[in-house]
Amino acid sequence: MYLRVSVTDRCNLRCTYCLPERARFAPDPAAPDEIDRLMAAVCAAAGVRKIRITGGEPTLAPALLQHIRTAAWLVPTVGMTSNGVLLAGMAGELRAAGLGRLNISLDAADAAGFRRATRRDRFAQVVEGIRAARAAGFAPLKLNAVATTDTDAPALARFAIAEGVHLRFIELMDIGEAHTGWAGRHVASAALRDRLAAAGLALREEPERDEPTSRVWTIPGVDPARTTLGFITTVSDPFCATCDRIRLSSRGRLHTCLFDERGTDLLAPLRAGDLAGLDAAIRRAVAAKAPPAHFRREGVMAGIGG
Ligand code: SAM
């Protein structure tokens, strides 16, 4: 199993498809030690081999290094997804704490586009964060861009080539803030590749490079060890049949699908000291993991993690 842990639902950006400007965050998140204890309980009950720390924005979590150390003690592979704003000051520490893989979300390749996408002026900090992450030894470093009708895919691809990083486009999902006008903003991966080709970036399909959730293409003339493009086709070609992801929210709930809105409360048995009940609740939830009835979620992504 692959566990994603949202260590905080707070965020320092307001991506238009993710959080409203006046986002309201959960008043009752799990405490850092509770998150770590739940992470350990889920690993033991569900046979987790890989953990990704996410959020909200994980670099805002008060005990991020502690969460990474705990995760690195529990499983062989620990990754994190961040918006990169605060990374420049902490990339080295994260690596030393045991973080092995890092994905940085970036939806635009210039300051104006970044502001439109995130409602904040932090493009320069993110670029600094990307460079600091590379200098700290995170390789391969991946950028994630959510594809919408506003996305300048060729500019992002050229940015990735110039920075020597890999780029993954995520199809916009009908979740939270993205719901209003979703159909009009969604761009399928095939249409995105057409746009790239029209801009002179004809890609080559390389199925042997595919990752569990992304179809990977190379760019003729570009070293694939430095830069490849990938497409996460959550909407146009869902990968439920092979999905082994489960998610622990910042409120201590276990969700066995991104679209499993309710989840299972793990904090109550933990706080009651009912460790057998906690273990049983996790096992029951994981055994019932199934593809969603519909690919839609009312709540925002931040609490459950992307
Ligand atoms: N703050 C971190 C970051 O920006 O990477 C981690 C949390 S963020 C919720 C995780 C990922 O979810 C980001 O790549 C984000 O762009 C993506 N995301 C959020 N809402 C989405 C939506 N409606 N459809 C597709 N991806 C979405």
Task: Give the model's pLDDT for residue 213.
Answer: 86
Between the CA of 306 and the centroid of ligand 1 the distance, in Å, is 5
Question: What number does the ligand 1 atom closest to the CA of 174 have?
Answer: 23
Task: Give the model's pLDDT for residue 27.
Answer: 86
Task: Give the model's pLDDT for residue 300.
Answer: 66
Asked if 266 and 252 count as a contact pair (C-beta separation under 8 A), the reply is: yes
Task: Give the model's pLDDT for residue 212.
Answer: 84
pLDDT tens for the chain, 306 residues: list them. 999 999 999 999 999 999 999 998 888 899 999 999 999 999 999 999 999 999 999 999 999 999 999 999 999 999 999 999 999 999 999 999 999 999 999 999 999 999 999 999 999 999 999 999 999 999 999 999 999 999 999 999 999 999 999 999 999 999 888 888 898 999 999 999 999 999 999 999 999 998 888 999 999 999 999 999 999 998 998 888 889 999 999 999 999 998 888 899 999 999 999 999 999 999 999 999 998 877 777 776 666 666
Question: What number does the ligand 1 atom closest to the CA of 301 have?
Answer: 9
Comparing CA positions, the residue from 104, 1, 103, 95 lying closest to residue 51 is 1
- Helix ranges, 186-255 (H): 189-198
Cβ atoms < 10 Å from Cβ of 56: 29
Task: Give the model's pLDDT for residue 302.
Answer: 63
Task: Give the model's pLDDT for residue 301.
Answer: 65
Task: Give the model's pLDDT for residue 61.
Answer: 97
DSSP-derived letter for residue 10 is -
Between the CA of 6 and the centroid of ligand 1 the distance, in Å, is 12
Asked if 87 and 132 count as a contact pair (C-beta separation under 8 A), the reply is: yes
Minimum CA distance residue for ligand 1 atom 10: 306
Between the CA of 233 and the centroid of ligand 1 the distance, in Å, is 14
Minimum CA distance residue for ligand 1 atom 2: 82
Task: Give the model's pLDDT for residue 259.
Answer: 87
Question: What number does the ligand 1 atom closest to the CA of 83 have?
Answer: 4
Sorted by sequence, the CB contacts under 8 Å of residue 278 that are 6+ apart come out as 38, 41, 266, 269, 270
Minimum CA distance residue for ligand 1 atom 25: 172
Asked if 83 and 13 count as a contact pair (C-beta separation under 8 A), the reply is: yes
Planar angle of CA 90, 168, 182, nearest 5 degrees: 105
Strands in 166-171's sheet, in edge-to-edge order, are 204-205, 215-218, 229-232, 166-171, 142-147, 101-105, 77-82, 50-54, 2-6, 245-248, 253-255, 264-265
Pocket of ligand 1 from Cβ distances under 6 Å: 11, 15, 17-18, 54-55, 57, 81-83, 105, 144, 146, 170, 172-173, 175, 178, 301-302, 305-306
Question: What number does the ligand 1 atom closest to the CA of 144 have?
Answer: 14
Between the CA of 48 and the centroid of ligand 1 the distance, in Å, is 22
**Residue 117, SS3?**
helix
Between the CA of 280 and the centroid of ligand 1 the distance, in Å, is 31
CATH number at residue 241: 3.20.20.70
3-state helix, strand, coil in the chain (%, to 5): 35, 20, 45
Task: Give the model's pLDDT for residue 26.
Answer: 86
Where in the sequence is the domain holding 112, given as residue range(s)?
2-303
Asked if 121 and 80 count as a contact pair (C-beta separation under 8 A), the reply is: no
Total of domains in the chain? 1
Q: Which pTM value belongs to this model?
A: 0.96
Task: Give the model's pLDDT for residue 177.
Answer: 87
